[in-house]
């Protein structure tokens, strides 16, 4: 079932802009549920080679791939995939991810495992404030 997210408020956009400053080129990002990840994504468009290891794919991932910031192609001759446990968003998101080898799904016990997360260089996590959803 498609779930459309509300546009972030100006306050949430400023939060997203501040969070985006913590993300360097080549970082791996985790974005939580809500409007904060969507707000942060719009300020990551000028970044390069961002990996995605997150609990949930939202529509924000489409923005990052389309602008070239989200790098889900190849790394060291190995396919680099976006990793998540589930996705929630628009029908466009579901259609894009469906049978797309750039995306890989694992149980939350794997995705949220600190040992697995620690293997990523420059990991930056943004979890959403419950009031922003």
pTM of the model: 0.84
Superfamily in which the 10-127 domain is placed by CATH: 4-hydroxybutyrate coenzyme  like domains (3.30.750.70)
DSSP string covering 59-78, please?
Answer: THHHHHHHTT-B--SEETTE
**What does the alpha-carbon distance between residue 49 and residue 15 come to, in Å, rounded to a whole number?**
22
Longest dimension (CA), the chain: 42
CA–CA separation, 45 and 52 (whole Å): 14
Mean pLDDT of 9-35: 89
Q: Residue 41 above 90 pLDDT?
A: no
Which value, to the nearest 10 degrees, does the dihedral of the CA atoms of residues 9, 10, 16, 19 take? -140
So which residues are the catalytic ones? 55
Q: What's the confidence (pLDDT) of residue 125?
A: 85
Contact 110, 116 (CB under 8 A): yes
Q: Encode pLDDT of 91-128 as tens digits.
A: 999 999 999 998 999 999 999 999 998 888 889 888 66
What are the boundaries of each domain within the chain? 10-127
Which letter does DSSP use for residue 8 in this model? Answer: P
pLDDT of residue 80: 67
pLDDT digits (tens, 9 = 90+) for 69-96: 987 754 543 456 789 999 999 999 999 9
Mean pLDDT calculated for residue range 4-18? 86
């Amino acid at each position: 079932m498609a779930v459309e997210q509300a546009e972030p408020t100006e306050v949430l956009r400023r939060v997203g802009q501040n969070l985006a400053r913590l993300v360097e080129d080549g970082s791996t990002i985790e974005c939580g549920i809500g409007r904060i990840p969507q707000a942060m994504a719009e300020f990551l468009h000028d970044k390069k080679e961002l990996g995605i290891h997150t609990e949930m794919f939202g529509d924000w991932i489409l923005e990052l791939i389309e602008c070239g910031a989200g790098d889900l192609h190849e790394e060291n001759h190995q396919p680099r995939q976006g990793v998540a446990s589930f996705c929630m968003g628009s029908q466009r998101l579901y259609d894009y991810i469906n049978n797309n080898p750039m995306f890989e799904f694992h149980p939350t016990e794997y995705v949220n495992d600190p040992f697995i997360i620690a293997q990523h260089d420059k990991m930056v996590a943004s979890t959403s404030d419950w009031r922003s959803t």
